[in-house]
Structure 1
Amino acid sequence: MPVKDLKDLYLDQLKDLYSACKQAMPVVTEMGRHARSRELAEALIAGNQGIARGIEVLAELCERHDTDPTGELCKGMEGLALEARRHAVEADFVDEDAQDAAIIAQYQRMVHYAIAGYGCLRSFASRLDFADDAAALQECLDHTWSGDRHMTAIAEGSVNEAALDGK
């Protein structure tokens, strides 16, 4: 679809982020199964719940604008998902705590991609005077930021130290 204006760009980016979130969910599930830290595993479950809610919101917004959210493949998240599997799930870890640190790093890379996507979409929606869209996207953005901060707290609170000590 050719992008003629900001609305076309908005719709294109809604579909792209929908694809990104759909690709992220199974990887987050895999990382959760490999997490040694109970706190980390629980945070990844919560993260997947947030991703699922984001998918619902993005699908609702697409429906509101008579566009199908499917059919797009987000190449950015495709690469991030491959990297997450390679570096956090499939890598040969001697120290399980180091694997937890890798899981957090890879999760946060994917989350930061989503933060950028939600932020841009919210800005586009505001400019297009789609106030309800902007509010829904802001809620997704806030939730995603909160999850990112929680992962940082887990990393700095216990995981990185345990990985350093090789416990």
Structure 2
Amino acid sequence: MSLNSLKDVYVDQLQDLHSACRQSHAVMDSLKEAAKNEELRSALGAGKDGIADGLTHLEALIKSHGADPKGEHCKGMEGLVAEAKAHGLNQDFGNDDARDAMIITQYQRMAHYAIAGYGCCAAFANRLGLTEDAATLGEMLDASWSGDRHFSGIAQGQVNKAAAE
């Protein structure tokens, strides 16, 4: 498909973000199961729920523009999910706290991809005068930032200290 306008770019990026969220959502249970810190396990569960909410909103936005939510495959998130599996799940760890630190690292890399996507799409929606889309995307961006800060707090308050000992 040829992208000929900002609207085309916007819909394409919504589809890419939908694909990214589907892929990250699929690995969340495995990350949660591998984590040992209870607060981290809880945060991963909440993160999965947040991703599911984002998928619902993205699907509605994409369909409202007459496009297929599954019209794109996000290679960027494919790589980040592969990294999460390789480094957070399949890597040998002699220390559960070190694994938890790695799980946080991999989760935040995936979250930062989503944050960039939500921010760009919200900016596009604003420029296109799609105020309801922009508001929805802004809420999803805020939720993603909030989750990211929560994971940073878990890392800085508990996990990194325990992994360093």
- Relative to the length of structure 2, the TM-score reads 0.99
Shift, 1:29, TM fit: 1.4
Partner of 1:163: 163
Partner of 1:61: 61
Shift, 1:72, TM fit: 1.3
- The 5 Å alignment of 1:5-154 reads 5-154=5-154
Q: Give a deviation string over 1:20-54, Cα, whole Å, max 9, x none.
A: 00000121211000000000000000000000000
Runs of 4+ off more than 2 Å: none
Query: Number of paired residues?
Result: 165
Structure 2, unmatched stretches of 5+, are none
Distance 1:127 1:84 in 2: 34
Which amino acid is 1:4 matched to? N
Which amino acid is 1:17 matched to? L
Q: Give a deviation string over 1:104-159, Cα, whole Å, max 9, x none.
A: 00000000000000000000000000000000000000000000000000000000
Shift, 1:71, TM fit: 3.2
Structure 1, unmatched stretches of 5+, are none
Shift, 1:59, TM fit: 0.2
Distance 2:108 2:127 in 1: 28
- Relative to the length of structure 1, the TM-score reads 0.98
